[in-house]
Amino acid sequence: APSIDPDDAIRATDDDAAASRLSAVNLGYLPDPFLPYLYRPPMSSSHGGNAGAGGPSRKPPLINVGTHHRTMAVDMLVQQFFHRGGGQVLSLGAGSDTRFWRLSQSPKPNMSRYVEVDFPHQTSQKAQRIARTAKLHSIFPSPSPTPSASPSSLTSKPYTVSNGGTSLHARSYSLVPLDLRDPTALSGLDGLLDPDLPTLLLAECVFCYMKPEDTDAVLKWFGRFKEAGVLVYEMIGLEDQFGQVMKRNLATRNLSLPGAVYRTSADQANRFLNPLLGSGAFYTSDAKTLWGIHTDVIPKEELQRRIAALEHLDEIEELRLVLSHYCVAWATRGQILEGIGF
Ligand code: SAM
Given a cut of 50, is residue 49 above it in pLDDT?
Answer: no
On whether ipTM exceeds 0.90, the answer is: yes
Query: Looking at the predicted structure, is the pLDDT value of residue 199 above 80?
Result: yes
CA distances from 40 to 15, 19, 57, 129, 130 (A): 9, 9, 11, 10, 13
Q: Please work out whether the CB of residue 70 comes within 6 Å of at least one atom of ligand 1.
A: no
Q: Is the beta carbon of 179 within 6 A of some atom in ligand 1?
A: yes
Q: Closest ligand 1 atom to the C-alpha of 18?
A: 5
Q: Answer yes or no: is pLDDT of 46 > 60.
A: no
For residues 207 and 201, give the distance between their C-alpha atoms in angstroms, rounded to a whole number: 12
Instruction: Report d(CA 264, CA 268) in Å as an integer.
Output: 6
Residue 179 CA to residue 172 CA, distance in Å, equals: 22
Q: What is the CA radius of gyration of the chain?
A: 20
For ligand 1, say whether the CB of 15 is within 6 Å of any of its atoms: no
Level-2 CATH architecture, domain 60-139+153-333: 3-Layer(aba) Sandwich (3.40)
- What is the band of 145 on the pLDDT scale with cuts at 50, 70, 90? low
Task: Find out whether the beta carbon of 255 lies less than 6 Å from any atom of ligand 1.
Answer: no
Contact yes or no for 331/341 (Cβ under 8 A): no
* pLDDT for position 303: 95
H-type alpha helices, 35-98: 35-38, 61-83
- Name the least confident of 22-36, 209-223, 252-266: 252-266
Main-chain dihedrals φ then ψ at residue 327, nearest 5 degrees:
-140, 155
**d(Cα 176, Cα 206) in Å, to the nearest integer?**
16
> What is the sign, positive or negative, of the torsion defined by CA atoms of 202, 205, 209, 213?
positive
Q: What ligand 1 atom has the least distance to the C-alpha of 94?
A: 1
According to the model, what pLDDT value does residue 55 have? 58
Q: Give the residue from 311, 340, 270 showing the smallest Cα distance to 66.
A: 311
Whole-number Å distance between alpha carbons of 27 and 22: 8
Q: How far is Cα 249 from Cα 269, in angstroms, rounded to an integer?
A: 26
pLDDT score recorded for residue 50: 45
pLDDT tens digits, one per residue of 228-280: 999 999 999 999 999 999 999 999 999 989 998 999 999 999 999 999 999 99
Mutate to test the pocket of ligand 1, among 206, 221, 232, 234 (most ligand atoms within 8 A of CB): 206
Q: Is the pLDDT of residue 51 over 50?
A: no
Q: Is pLDDT above 60 for 140? A: yes
- Burial (CB count <10 Å: 0-12, 13-18, 19+), residue 340: buried
Instruction: Compute the distance between CA of residue 20 and CA of residue 10 in angstroms, rounded to an integer.
Output: 16
Choose which residue among 78, 96, 100, 119 to substitute to test ligand 1 binding: the one with the highest number of ligand atoms within 8 A of its C-beta: 119
Mean pLDDT, the chain, as a whole number? 92
End-to-end CA distance of the chain: 52
Query: How much is the pLDDT for 70?
Result: 98
Please tell me the number of Cα atoms within 13 Å of 87 on its side-chain side. Answer: 23
Pick the range with the lowest mean pLDDT from 2-6, 144-148, 196-200.
144-148
Give the SS3 label for residue 27.
coil
Q: Could you read off the pLDDT of 148-193 as tens digits, one per residue?
A: 656 655 568 999 999 999 999 999 999 999 999 998 999 889 899 9
pLDDT in tens, 297-306: 999 999 999 9
Confidence of residue 56 (pLDDT cuts 50, 70, 90): low
Q: What SS3 state is found at 273?
A: helix
pLDDT value, residue 84: 96
> pLDDT at residue 1 above 60?
no
Domain extents in the chain = 60-139+153-333
pLDDT of residue 4: 76
Q: Are 56 and 50 in contact (CB under 8 A)?
A: yes
Percent of the chain's residues with pLDDT above 70: 92
Q: Encode pLDDT of 315-338 as tens digits.
A: 899 999 999 999 999 999 999 999
Mean pLDDT of 273-294: 98
